Amino acid sequence: MSWTDERVETLKKMWGEGQSASQIAKELGGVTRNAVIGKVHRLGLSNRSGGAPAKPAAKEKPATAKSAARDKAEGEAVATITVAEVTEKQVVPLRRQIIPAGQPLPPQPSANEISPEALASVREVEKKSKKISLMELTERTCKWPVGDPATDDFWFCGLTVQPGKPYCEAHVGVAFQPMSSRRDRRR
């Protein structure tokens, strides 16, 4: 199915009349509701010109009774604002921060609390570590990453691993915690 000029005009007309995407798809035939919605957005028809009745205008109200009384006492004119003006000026949509690929992530709060002793042990071990690259890792070297992978100052621990684990003794103490302590922490 292709969008011919005639089909596009039918779509525009029906959309303007307030018809649903499903109704338009049924009328056109050979097209899905989602295809109609996609075409509507590509044509920039998202805001309907007709169809649903418009919302009634908001009544004007003073900002607050106290501020109105204060303004009147000071001899100033009482300002009135509409609900629509407040909404337009003060409501800002929340957006998540998008971090481009290759950029370091901001610090995240940790769900696990690591004991100060374990952290001290890790710091001591990292001073003695071999500081190897990704290409130097083997099944017998600690694979604990240190630093930011997006920088040149990134390396792996490289010390001898504990049997059956990917990390050395110090890093196993930080990475793997007994089940009972995790269960107790949730309560």
Q: What is the pLDDT of residues 107-125, one digit of tens each?
A: 655 545 666 777 777 778 8
Q: Tell me what pLDDT residue 98 has.
A: 72
* Across 56-70, 93-107, 110-124, least confident range: 56-70
Structure tokens belonging to residue 29: 């035939």
In a domain, 101, yes or no: no
In a domain, 52, yes or no: no
In a domain, 161, yes or no: yes
Could you tell me which residue, 149 or 70, shows the higher pLDDT?
149
Number of domains in the chain: 3
Non-local (6+) Cβ contacts of 170 within 8 A are 118, 121, 122, 124, 125
28/71 same-domain check: no
83/39 same-domain check: no
Range of the domain at 136: 116-186
In 3D, which of 48, 44, 14, 49 has the Cα closest to residue 31? 14
Which pTM does this prediction carry? 0.36
Q: Tell me what pLDDT residue 128 has.
A: 84
Residue 61 backbone dihedrals phi, psi, to 5 degrees? -135, 150
Angstrom distance (rounded) from CA 112 to CA 42: 47
Q: Tell me what pLDDT residue 106 has.
A: 67
pLDDT of 49 strictly over 60: no
Count the Cβ atoms, other than its own, within 10 Å of residue 12. 16
Question: E strand or H helix at 19, and its extent?
Answer: none
123/169 same-domain check: yes
